[in-house]
Structure 1
Amino acid sequence: MSLGDFFIIKKYKGGVNLKGKIKEFVFITIGMIMVAVGLYFFLMPEKLAIGGANGLAIVINHWIPFLSIGTIMIIINIVLFIIGFLVVGTSFGIKTIYASIGTSVIVSLFEKILSIQKPLVEDIILQLVFGVFISAIGMGIVFNQNASTGGTDIIAKIMNKFFGIELGKGVLFSDFIITVMAGFAFGPELGMYSLLGVILNGIVIDSTMEGINLCKEVNIVSEYSSDIKEYIVNNLKRGATLYNAKGAYTGDKKDVVATVIDRRDFIKLKSYIKAIDKNAFITVSNVYEVLGDGFKNIEE
């Protein structure tokens, strides 16, 4: 969804699209809350600036303590969006604006309602690990809905436009600069912990998105290929492709049924095949992203 949606009233084609949009914003909201919880309850009390607008806000709060971290996050995101619109263009969607500003607002509300005077535990490693895992899983959920929490993503796009730096490297470079600033503000030890948090954050986000999007590519050789195909199409409501194949050893001609389904449907399919043909030959591969009919829109 582009910025043009602010100015153009777009009618949804039926309730399915509207339901899908509501579902997207529900997941984004869940992700936002997780990011805010990981940040406020675990990372902020230890001054662990692991990049992004939230990490930068923690560092700035050290020098400007009369502004809360939540307020600084809101200011940073607004400023970055304005710069992004002027420099890069209208490539930031409504979902990203909602996620980035919303996360900042939730943190600000936590600061006003649930004041924390000290870390939950004395072990900084526990604070770092729990904070990173909770917030990174939240970020992964937000990213999976084709949104982002703003911050260094926008800086990376600006660097990409003017210097040709890849987006991933731009985000990593920006987060690294923030951890260096944290080192100057809070000392080299906290700076190194923050850098470790940046690395863990990237790993957990990637793992979360892979886990959410994980599907199974299934190829089935069976004498009952027609029945299996009908089960996939009519019961699982998924598509399938039939290939004509010839066995190298027997020379028999058979149909190979190929399909891509989620993990829950794979369990159902395997049980069905087991019930009708225990001699079926099945190969299964993990697929981490599927685009097209019935899955994620290729335009997103």
Structure 2
Amino acid sequence: MKEQVFSKGKDFLLDILYDVASSIMMAISINVFTAPNGIAPGGISGIAIIINHFTGLPIGTLNLAMNIPLLLIGYKVLGRRFTFNTLKTIAIGTVFLDVILVNLPTYTSNPLLGALFGGVCLGASLGLVFLRGSTTGGLDIVTRLVQKKRPHLSMGRVMLILDFCVLGASMAAFGSIEVGLYGLISIFVTSQVVDAILYGADVGKLALIISDKSDEIARAVMSQLDRGATLLKGVGAYSSEEKHVLMCALRKQEFYRLKKLTYEIDPKAFLIVTEAGEVAGEGFKSLEG
């Protein structure tokens, strides 16, 4: 019983530490780079930046005020744990945005650099939050609610549509097409940084090779590329012939060598390659990471 209490207390403390680190990066992104340059990088925080431009109301408070009704609406769909974690993360972020780090020096010399570094800091902020299983709320909640009603729509597509709506609103609010373009750059950079934090550098390729010489190719992969390979049993739909399908995970820079090696052994081989969002295990990063 004591061990469970200790474990829960330790997890809660880690959640708070991650939220604090995330909030610091969020405050730097918004207070230093994006808001001073009139850049609204999508999401509820982007809407808060637009409203702040006209009213002067604190961005963090606006963000919290817009998220509370969304959390109440989505409580039944999202669950108690998700709602509590999100509210905790937003509340800590609000304190840092509006109180602790509100008077940070601003950077307005080059809006492009503002968009880039704002995106990097925002991506780091979101990545830290996602690592602990929480979110910053906002359009993520709206996206989940929309998908609940329209399950055929992908979350990425819904999020993209909503972000473009915010970018359009920012262009109208600030009277400039450039702020929308800067916002688009910031969104792109943010997504790249989030992926780098969540998946690390072990984003790779997954190759499927169909060949009459799969065994020979597998041996070459293991000896020349020093990569493991798995032979899957397959049956041709048209010929009804049984063949081995070779499956191999590798790093992006190793793909050319695999392609060349496969062609040298069997020029008639059929090669299918897809992106692997994360590869963990022997030869890549540890499963613990």
> TM-score when scaled to structure 1?
0.62
> Is residue 190 of structure 1 aligned with residue 179 of structure 2?
yes
Amino acid at match of 2:70: L
CA distance in 2, matches of 1:89, 1:24: 18
Amino acid at match of 1:184: A
Q: 1:73 aligns with which of 59, 63, 72?
A: 63
Amino acid at match of 2:119: V
Structure 1's 71 and 17: CA in aligned 2 closer, same or farther, altered over 3 A? closer
Describe how 1:85-100 pairs up with structure 2 within 5 A.
85=75, 90=80, 92-100=82-90
Q: 1:18 aligns with which of 9, 29, 43?
A: 9
Q: 1:144 aligns with which of 127, 131, 143?
A: 131
Is the contact made by 2:26 and 2:97 (CA closer than 8 Å) also made in structure 1?
no
> Is residue 48 of structure 1 aligned with residue 39 of structure 2?
yes
> Is residue 171 of structure 1 aligned with residue 159 of structure 2?
yes
Is the contact made by 1:51 and 1:178 (CA closer than 8 Å) also made in structure 2?
yes
CA distance in 1, matches of 2:285, 2:116: 28
Alpha-carbon shift at residue 161 of structure 1 (Å): 0.8
Describe how 1:104-115 pairs up with structure 2 within 5 A.
104-110=94-100, 114=103
Aligned to 1:156: 143
Is the contact made by 2:37 and 2:108 (CA closer than 8 Å) also made in structure 1?
no
**Cα RMSD (Å):** 2.8
Alpha-carbon shift at residue 35 of structure 1 (Å): 1.4
Q: Which stretch shifts more, 73-82 or 140-149? A: 73-82
Aligned to 1:285: 283
Is the contact made by 1:128 and 1:197 (CA closer than 8 Å) also made in structure 2?
yes
Alpha-carbon shift at residue 115 of structure 1 (Å): 6.6
Alpha-carbon shift at residue 57 of structure 1 (Å): 0.4
Alpha-carbon shift at residue 121 of structure 1 (Å): 4.1
Aligned to 1:120: 107
Structure 1's 88 and 142: CA in aligned 2 closer, same or farther, altered over 3 A? closer
Aligned to 1:200: 189
Is the contact made by 1:12 and 1:18 (CA closer than 8 Å) also made in structure 2?
no
5+ residue gaps, structure 2: 204-218, 220-280
Alpha-carbon shift at residue 147 of structure 1 (Å): 0.6
Structure 1's 162 and 143: CA in aligned 2 closer, same or farther, altered over 3 A? same
Alpha-carbon shift at residue 167 of structure 1 (Å): 2.3
Alpha-carbon shift at residue 90 of structure 1 (Å): 4.1
**In structure 1, the residue corresponding to 2:4 is in which secondary structure?**
coil
CA distance in 2, matches of 1:39, 1:163: 32
Aligned to 1:132: 119
Alpha-carbon shift at residue 42 of structure 1 (Å): 0.9
> TM-score when scaled to structure 2?
0.65
Is the contact made by 2:129 and 2:136 (CA closer than 8 Å) also made in structure 1?
yes
| Sequence identity percentage | 26
Alpha-carbon shift at residue 104 of structure 1 (Å): 2.3
Amino acid at match of 2:167: T
Alpha-carbon shift at residue 140 of structure 1 (Å): 0.4
Describe how 1:207-286 pairs up with structure 2 within 5 A.
207-211=196-200, 284-286=282-284
